[in-house]
Structures are given as structure tokens and as C-alpha cells.
Amino acid sequence: MELVNGKEIMQKALDGHYGIGAFNYVNIETLKSILDTAEEKGSPVIVQCSTGAIKYAGVDTLVAICRSYAKNMTVPVCLNLDHGQTFEDCKKCIDAGFTNVMIDASHLPYEENIALTRKVVEYAHERGVTVEAEIGVLAGVEDEVSASEDDARYTDPKQAYDFVKATGVDSLAIAIGTSHGTVKFKGEAKLRFDILEQVEKLLPNFPIVLHGASSIPQDMVKLAEEYGAVLKGAKGIPETMLREACSHNVCKINVDSDLRLSFTAGIRKHLTENPDNVDMRKYNQAGMELIKKVVADKMDNVFGSTNMAR
């Protein structure tokens, strides 16, 4: 199957009242684990690369391996740029074959965010590519994106409405209390569903995105720590909150840290138990199996996307 754009995959999720996982990948192992699980579960899926992943592996390589796997799949796959910072970031990915791009100019003054987002939208739409943007700033660190708790700010619903109308963007990431990284909360987890509900009222039937939405499964934290990892305070978004978000108009939920955590836990366990092994295929496979377990759980029990593409 050919790669689909964001509008095609997210509108069906809105209509069906389920969420779609947007899973980050940096190599064949992470991508294959995600796509194999999506096919097995009959779930639509978004796979995405950050600018850091592109520097690591190369944009043409990342597109080529995604297309190679997706062409043999029966479920829809969207390829997204995660947190593009500049017009050039987005243009490079559009030209290379991405079907959705995110321009994250949320750190800029509001009018500059509008101007840059509109420029990306115009270039992308002329080429059949859809665009995600962001209003509000998430705390935490992910690859080349970072903000302190003091710099983080919630999305203003009225501003979100005005922004969508001014830019023509296809989906919008909002800040309601999620954050990047493995330590998302120091105290009790809290998401501003009141903000989400206000955005939903102002922008009915419009795709909303949650970034920094890994749940940091504690069984994976425990496994990784058992084999030497140091993950003090690792805590994510409760899955009950993510399920509630999917009952609104949140139809794209980003997951990165959970994949890193599970892959690392599997490799640590395998190498500790098999100190004589130098075959990277074997220890990578151990990590891949745990990625698949995490992705399957999200599709079955959190996003509700299992069998939605059958």
C-alpha cells in the first residue's frame, strides 16, 4: 500500500472515535517492530522521524525503508516529520517523500508562528502533503526539542482556533500537561481536560494531537533497572487519561520514550543473560519483541485502533 497523508488517516479516526499511535523510529528495528504490529493488529498507524533521527540515519534512507515495508502492508501508514523547526526541515522531508510534516514554531512569537506555519502549509498542500503545527509549549527534552517547566505553557483555546483559521493547518498539537522524556511528572499526573474540551468546542471535528504522551510502562522500567539501567523517577501519562483523550477529538498520540525504554530493556536483558553473544541480530530481536508488546498494548487497550483498518 502507498503511504497516506495525515488527513486521510486522521479523519477516519475522528469519525470512528479512536486514536492513532504516532510512533517514532530511527532504524530498521524500531520501524519493523511498529509496522509488523500494526499489520498484525489491523490498525492504521503513523510512523515518524525527528530531525535528530534524520541526522542520525539520513532522510532518504528513512523514507526508503518505510516505503519498502509499507508497500506490502494492508493497513494505512502515514510517514510524519516530528518537530520540524524550520521551513527547510519541512521542505526537505516533503521533497523526500514524507506524507505529513509537523512544523513546530511554538517557541516563536505568535505572529511568527502563524507566518512560518502558513508558508509550510502552502508548500505542502501543493504537493498533497498535510501539516501539523503546535500552539503552547511542552516541558521536557526530546532529541533537539527542549523546554523547562518554567518555559512550558498551556494552549489558549481561542488562540488555537484563530491559529487554525489563519494557517489552514490540518492538525494541531496542543499543550494540556503532557511532556517529553521519561520523567513527565514529579507529583500526581494531571492533564487539563478543560482546555481540551474548550478546543474541541471551538474546533469540532478537527484533529488534535498530543505530544509527550508515552505512559512509561512500569514493567519495562523495572526490567531495564533489573539489568542495570538507571531510570530514577521515570513516570509517564496514565493510560486512563490517554483513553479519555481519545474519546474527545485527540486522534494522534505521540509515543517515543516507551519504545526507547522497551528496546533498551530487551537488549540489556539479553546481553546480561548471554554474555558470549556478539550477534546483533539476536539482541536486537530481543528489543524488538518488547517494542511489539508495547505497541500492541497501545493499539488494543489505549487507542482503540485494533481492527479499525480491516
Give the catalytic positions in this structure.
82
HSE-CB at 6 with a 13 A cutoff on CA atoms is: 33
Copy the grid coordinates of residue 50. 525527528
As beta bridge partners, residue 172 has 133, 208
Q: Decide: residue 163, CB within 10 A, 0-12 exposed, 13-18 middle, 19+ buried.
A: buried
